[in-house]
Structure 1
């Protein structure tokens, strides 16, 4: 019996797939297929940005062997996987979009764009000096594929880039330092960009001690996961005016309307939009096509987690 695939896009939209691929289509918005159809599903690609519905379907897939996400992080999926199921993430899919947003958040924060937007609404012309990215030091914490994509976009801005990952290595642009060296690098950075996955080792990585090591006036950019930052510790630094922050992710998330982080001085918040952009769909279809072809031909899957 051929394996059955549960996909968020029709095979004809993905393109380049074998005609005999047995696929069900469910995008997470309507009712799932009938249980008799789900019973044979072995490969399940979770619909993007439909986390609650997507994860809730897992117990209804008794033949499941492989889960493919369209996210790089899987911290919110792995705890729900049945034993023996192979998990594959979407490494590389969000590199362009997330790196682009990290640059946008950095530039907007340094150049005071949020204040200018508020002034525009009030018809206020307030000409003032702002910080430039040129001649600054940017520290990328969690230097993986997104970090490399971010550095590529930073090069034209004439800034210096430092790289930190779990372990030391060489990259195309220079040395990647081990996480153990982070305390000594933080005081020299003007911008610290967080790109680490959320694990028990990185939860509250940016805690009170981490933030205290950052230089006065430095900018913290979080495009990783909200819980990589200790929100209470960050609030204290923002309210004192010592640090600034640009956050695409928060803890908690979604951020409640009454949360003080919304109104903290020196903070720019976007609602976890690093991935969802026009860059998403073509890259998602390419990644899914390649993975489905591997699965259909019995080849080893890419991006296996763990």
Structure 2
């Protein structure tokens, strides 16, 4: 019996990402599973070459820079049955027609959560040791602080508050387990028993903010969470507390946060802001109590191959007649990133 032809597939993303998502070994595995042209990376679904490829495509491999997949794309791709996203959230990518026509969708959001959680773990441990503050003091005074300066330093029993049991939030909770920390969790969809299995105590948001030394934000950016940390809630964070945000800047009132940080009452580790990037005259660039990074917590550099690897693994499952391991359901997008 002759071998079955491989299903046709098309790349749709900014082509700059392709070699990092699919380095040579992964590209070889990918091309053993689908018929795909690495020389055609679609950024415009109305391009004639893209339209010709779409008429045959059964699989769309997407990434950052892919245009929205709506009814017009599906009309041009009548055989399309699967969208495999080599990046995080598909919220802005997948149109309603994709769900209505019964396509399957997969996302590498879990793979992308790993480096964000690792960044957060590092930030939590550094914040507990006051690494950021002591570094600034050492840089200006050039002497070791007196022992009294270390009285409030240390991670033994430090209370860490996690906002959101998202994929990132759950991975952070897992990474925190080996340490002698006290962990609280706020998530309206997680009860006390589930929080306990995750290694945390379920707390109302206001109580979590009042009782935590370090607060880390991992909730999704949805209408219900916009500005969830407003001026009143930011004021609940105890004096000397640290806010870590690797989620989205929209979850925090930017003016209220700036006022708190300029006043020096709390500190912050911010990988995301609103707007992003901040304007050049923002005081957050210069404040000693702010550690600001340019949205680097997610997958970068060699970490991108983990996202491409997720797509290849999903194709291997499809070839074996198995369901997607990282399938996305339409209902999930209402409460997740």
Taking structure 2 as the reference length, what is the TM-score of the superposition?
0.74
1:147-185 per-position Cα deviation (integer Å, ceiling 9, x unaligned): 23222332333111112223123153445637xx21222
Displacement of 1:215:
1.4
Matched residue SS, 2:202: strand
| 1:84 alignment counterpart | 98
Unpaired runs of 5+ in structure 1? Answer: none
Aligned residues: 298
CA apart distance, 1:101: 0.5
SS at match of 2:215: strand
Task: Say whether the 8 Å CA contact 2:183–2:200 is kept in structure 1.
Answer: no
Partner of residue 223, structure 1:
246
In proportion to residue count, which structure has more helix? 2
Query: Is the aligned partner of 1:266 residue 2:289?
Result: yes
RMSD between superposed Cα atoms in Å: 3.5
1:6 and 2:14 aligned: no
**Distance in structure 2 (CA, Å) of the matches to 1:102 and 1:113:** 14
Please state how far the C-alpha of 1:293 moved relative to its aligned partner: 2.6
Give the corresponding residue for 1:290: 313
Counterpart position of 1:214: 237
Taking structure 1 as reference, are residues 183 and 255 closer, same or farther at Cα in structure 2, changes over 3 Å only? Answer: same
How far apart are 1:114 and its partner, in Å? 4.2
TM alignment of 1:75-154, pairs within 5 A: 75-78=91-94, 81=95, 83-84=97-98, 86=103, 87-114=105-132, 124-127=142-145, 129-130=149-150, 131-154=153-176
Displacement of 1:28 after TM fit? 6.5
Between 1:153-162 and 1:226-235, the stretch displaced more is: 153-162
Residue 54 of structure 1 pairs with residue 40 of structure 2: no
Q: CA deviation at 1:274?
A: 1.2
Distance 2:171 2:117 in 1: 6
TM-score for both structures, normalised by structure 1: 0.80
How far off is 1:84 after superposition? 2.0
Q: Which moved more, 1:257-266 or 1:119-128?
A: 119-128
TM superposition shift of 1:146: 2.3
Distance of 1:212 and 1:289 partners within structure 2:
46
Q: CA deviation at 1:194?
A: 0.6
Distance 1:3 1:235, change over 3 A: same
